[in-house]
Structure 1
Amino acid sequence: MAGDYVIGVDSSTTAAKAVVWNPAGLAVSSARSTFELSRPRPGWGEQNAEDWWAATAAAVRRAVQTVDASRVGALCVTHQRETFVCLDAAGNPLRPALLWLDGRAVREVEEHGTAEVHRITGKPPNPTPAWYKLLWLARHEPETVARTGKVVDVQGFLVHRLTGEWATSWASADPLGLVDMTTCDYDDGLLAAAGLRREQLGELRPPGTVLGRVADDVARELGLPRGLPVVAGVGDGQAAQLGTGVTASGRAYLNLGTGVVSGTYSETYSYGAQYRTLFAAVPGAYALETFIGGGTYNLSWFVEKFSGLDSRALGLELTPEQILETAAAQLPPGADGLLLLPYWAGALTPYWDHHARGVLVGLTGSHGKSHVYRALLEGIAYEQRLLTDGAEAVLQEPVSTLVALGGGSRSRVWCQILADVMRRRVDVVREAESTCLGAGMLAAAAVGVHDSVPAAAEAMSATAGSYEPDAERCAAYDRLYAVYRDIYPAMRALFPRLAEASRSEASRSEASRSEASRSEASR
């Protein structure tokens, strides 16, 4: 049947993935192409925007090679949200793109991160939104700003390469921190502060509408049908929410990835320190999102730095994580009195404290590797309970179910811990590429494969298992959680003191090394 397939493209931080979906949300074909991430200085993150297009083109071309391309009815892009690139008048990058994870704009946050900016954008002051990095560019690279013809998000860049149109969705642009969340339009005051004019930005359209059609030469290059509609997508977090079927209150998605991102659905706009607010994939609705900077990253860190496990030498067809998880599963809730604060990458929601760091509380000589590993799993679960409870206060109804995706969702032990700590059922998605699936749902709704975005979500999403909270373990975790939630407030004042002491010591060490080098050179 012509036009019943759709393509979802996910241009993430490390790769472009293209998946061809059928109307039931099953992958017919897929391909992936990687690209590099540059860290020119500590805390910085940049990319060559041309790599986004090269990787996307390669992934799409390979994905459609094994299907009947005439059945492809639309394409939709999801992407790494706050990332942006400055282009010249011809649409060529003037400098490397600044990524969502780039933290260089600390001073700009301190100077410009006001309560009014939070109200307008729904984003608590922190270096992630592009607006603060645009202010950084105005201060440190005024020549770049002066030559800028367009500032675009990742979708805006790819849509232009596909169609020639300068357009994006308001749900793709709003993570940049330039959009008024009550009007779905750019805020003139924020634009003026960054030295930008409206014509330098892509036109904003509702998610799920057609932005343009693939140009003939691009269609020939990628093996796509001539005039294929390109549909307005959303950021990867909102796409994950849609791809997991969360289109109403009462459920939240939980992405157990490198960081842990969770989103609840709201039909009304609100803002608060407990969450950041974004436009949902369903026009007129909002996603209230929480974020823990350390998720599977924390687990990988422990395995790499401290586990000392070589499963190959043991002759086991298991990863070190699986071995540690098996050992941790033998321990009782609370890891025999060990609690962990998972702030390896600082604290985001609800504290927004970049000085915060990880903490182990309760160590004794009886604790071993399995105790620390279980404390890692439980610490992230405690933190997610804190965040979900905070966001839940403004929702139309409580969150009763979490829909888990990402690498961590494959851990039975962790999913059960999450259910017990959070006192909520945890469902696990059928489709691993749920973010790409969310883009496919928008494409399917736009061209009539399904009647609406919610209808597409209902038809194309599914779960593959669930975990119910256990009453006895829940009671034990309630007692432990009451202690956990007091750890950060008790230590809050110590974190900046530690940071200052560390900076002072680092400065003295650097001065000593410089003096030693000068002495050596003079001999």
Structure 2
Amino acid sequence: MSYIIGIDVGTSSLKGILVTKQGNVVATRQQEYGLETPQPGFSEQHPAVWTDALVSVLKQLLTDVPEAAQKTEGISFSGQMHSLVLLNDEGEILRNAILWNDVRTTPQCEEITRTLGDELIDITKNKALEGFTLPKLLWVKDNEPDIWQDVARFLLPKDYVGFFLTGNQQMEYSDAAGTLLLNTGEKEWSQKILQAFDIPEKICPPLVESSDCIGYIKTGLATDIGFDTPVAVYSGGADNACAALAAGITSSGLALASIGTSGVFLSYEDDPKGSYGGHLHYFNHADKDRYYSMGVTLAAGHSLSWFKQTFASTKSYDELLGNISSVPIGSDNLLFTPYIAGERTPYTDSHIRGSFVGISVGHTLDHFARAVIEGITFSLKDSQELMKQYAGKTFDAIVSVGGGAKNQDWLQIQADVFNTKIVTLASEQGPALGAAMIAAVGANWFDSMTDCSREFVAYDKEYLPDDNHVSAYDTCYRHYRKVYPATKNIFN
């Protein structure tokens, strides 16, 4: 039996899975870690928390399956996007990593937009947002000149973990696309952007493909972890690209609806010149020479957890949602907009806040619970509508993962709101499985990600749209779309 390992370097934890050639996950381990928030709006981590967690998780996996010490052929990574790691000439960490959810860089985003205008979208396919890496680089340059003068290289989290294991520094395209420094179509660092902001090209790491071998786990470290034979390390992919692989999004016709703390609606793309004018994210895929488009709801599952904690803290989620099927479509004219932390798609508005609209004396907790579920789903439909508007996209099926895939009523609501068949995964392992797929292709277990997907990804239940429900939800969605323009000036 041979194995590969997939690692997901997340924001709050690191997850590792041990996988066979048949795609069977035989062991799973996870270790949590915290964030540092030295000031409001700041979000940081020291990269040592990732590497400490990695060593611990790998040791636990080898304890769970002892023969993996001799029969692990490769390891690869998924990682949180955008988060900035700065190294000096000796490869030493210069400061805490500035994370994707850090919002200190609004002035730098304004500077980028003012300097480059539409060229930014032409080159990178994306707007300048606080989460991206370039604004973080400029913030350090503007505010920490002593650190900036010592910067020899910047990396992203999973690339730093790869450097820790192998001693080699590089970045693959799906993560590089989230830096705002990559020419996504040409697959090279943009000289135009680097020169515009006086950033030395030498601090940008060499670019590689996701399934390229970047080296082997260093001998002493491998021995300490417990490996008895050399283990190849493959570059990996951005977390959303890996989540797409894990859901089988390797060809047209499928989309992904992921509802975690935030929400993602994601579609496969194959046009290097494609773009949605910045209305959606457009990134290189972990599948070589392919791309994906993506819209983001900032507070998807977060809206539901906030609602539960605030109004039904003693109930479980099953209890909270247990009666929503008895509530009519549209929650008896009660609408919820999930903008409790601002919104990304389609408005890019950090000032907007959520609303319940249409509250009446007849509404119960069940009405409010269903309204929250419907509002989250409407917000994701905004991204689906942009894909239809700008690219004429329709889908044969949408793969639902995360919290939205854990409740049958919510799955049916998704089918009706999206007017598309919804499918769930037989085993949901998330981005760690995508990382394992990258290692499997890198190790030549499969010729392509599509071939690997056929073996590793299995679907379970299907939910078909009900024509009567679709019609009713079309009306509800039109009303939902009126709430943002009616309330934005209040919050701004």
Q: Kindly state the Cα deviation for residue 396 of structure 1 after the two structures are TM-superposed.
A: 7.3
Match of 1:292 among 258, 272, 297: 297
Q: CA deviation at 1:483?
A: 1.2
The structure 1 residue matched to 2:345, chosen from 349, 354, 357, is 349
Q: CA separation in 2, counterparts of 1:275 and 1:257? A: 19
Residue matched to 2:39: 41
Shift of 1:248: 0.8
* Equivalent position of 1:310 in the other structure: 314
CA contact (8 A) 1:131 1:194 kept: no
In structure 2, what is the Cα distance between the partners aligned to 1:224 and 1:406? 33
Give the Cα–Cα distance (whole angstroms) in 2 for the partners of residues 166 and 495 of structure 1: 44
| Matching of residue 438 in structure 1 with residue 442 in structure 2 | no
Aligned length: 485
Paired AA for residue 314 in structure 2 = D
Alignment partner of 1:220 out of 213, 218, 223: 223
Retained in 2: the 8 A contact 1:279–1:287? yes
User: 1:322 is paired with a residue of what secondary structure?
Assistant: helix
Where does residue 26 of structure 1 map in the other structure? Answer: 24
Moved more, 472-481 or 389-398: 389-398
In structure 1, how many angstroms separate the alpha carbons of the residues matched to 2:307 and 2:280? 28
1:63-78 equivalences in 2 (<5 Å): 63-67=61-65, 68-69=67-68, 70-78=70-78
Aligned-pair distance for 1:440?
0.7
Check whether the contact 1:254–1:261 (CA below 8 A) recurs between aligned residues. Answer: yes
In structure 2, the partner of 1:125 is 128
Number of the residue aligned with 2:356: 360
Deviations 1:264-317 (A, max 9, x none): 00110322233101111111111101100011111111111122x524xxxxxx
Mapping of residues 318-329 of structure 1, within 5 Å: 319=316, 321-329=317-325
Larger radius of gyration: 1
Contact 1:216 1:226 in 2 (8 A): no
Q: For residues 392 and 228 of structure 2, what CA distance do their matches in structure 1 show? A: 43
1:384 is aligned with what amino acid? L
- The aligned counterpart of 1:468 is 464
SS of 1:310's equivalent in the other structure is: coil
- Which residue number in structure 2 is paired with residue 255 of structure 1? 258
Give the Cα–Cα distance (whole angstroms) in 2 for the partners of residues 359 and 396 of structure 1: 31
In 1, Cα distance between equivalents of 2:186 and 2:382: 30
Equivalent residues of 1:249, 1:396 under 8 A apart: no
Match of 2:51 in 1: 53
- Cα distance in 1 between the residues matched to 2:288 and 2:41: 35
Secondary structure, counterpart of 1:493 in structure 2: helix
Alpha-carbon offset, residue 208 of structure 1: 1.2
CA contact under 8 A between 1:238 and 1:281: conserved in structure 2? yes
| Equivalent residue number for residue 100 of structure 2 | 100
Deviation at 1:195, TM superposition (A): 4.1
| Equivalent residue for 2:394, pick from 380, 393, 398 | 398
**Structure 2: how far apart are the matches of 1:426 and 1:71?**
38
* Distance in 2 between residues matched to 1:397 and 1:347, nearest whole Å: 23
The RMSD of aligned alpha carbons is 1.5
Query: What is residue 483 of structure 1 aligned with on the other side?
Result: 479
- Alpha-carbon offset, residue 46 of structure 1: 0.4
Gaps of 5+ in 1: 312-318, 497-523
| Contact 1:185/1:204 (8 A) holds in 2 | yes
Structure 2 counterpart SS, 1:182: coil
Check whether the contact 1:249–1:395 (CA below 8 A) recurs between aligned residues.
no
Q: CA deviation at 1:156?
A: 1.7
In the alignment, residue 267 of structure 1 is paired with which amino acid? D
Residue by residue over 1:15-61, the C-alpha shift from the partner in whole angstroms, topping out at 9 and shown as x without a partner, is 11110111222211121111111122222110011111111111112
Residue identity matched to 1:279: N
- Where 1:91 maps in the other structure, the secondary structure is coil
Instruction: Tell me, yes or no, if the aligned pair for 2:128 and 2:180 is still in contact at 8 Å.
Output: no
Where structure 2 has 5 or more consecutive residues not aligned to the other structure, the ranges are none
State yes or no: 1:427 paired with 2:423. yes
Matched with 1:208 is 211
SS at 2:163's partner residue? helix
SS in 2 for 1:28: strand
Specify the code of the residue in structure 1 equivalent to 2:87: L
Structure 1 moving runs of 4+ over 4 Å: 394-397
Local SS of the residue matching 1:374? helix
For residues 222-250 of structure 1, give each alpha carbon's deviation from its aligned partner in whole angstroms, at most 9, with x where no partner exists: 22353311112110000000111011111
Structure 2 residue 286 is the aligned partner of structure 1 residue 281: yes
Correspondence 1:87 to 2:91: no
Tell me which amino acid in the other structure corresponds to 1:33: Q
Name which of structure 1's ranges 97-106 and 80-89 shifts more when overlaid on structure 2.
80-89
Q: In 2, Cα distance between the equivalents of 1:179 and 1:57?
A: 31
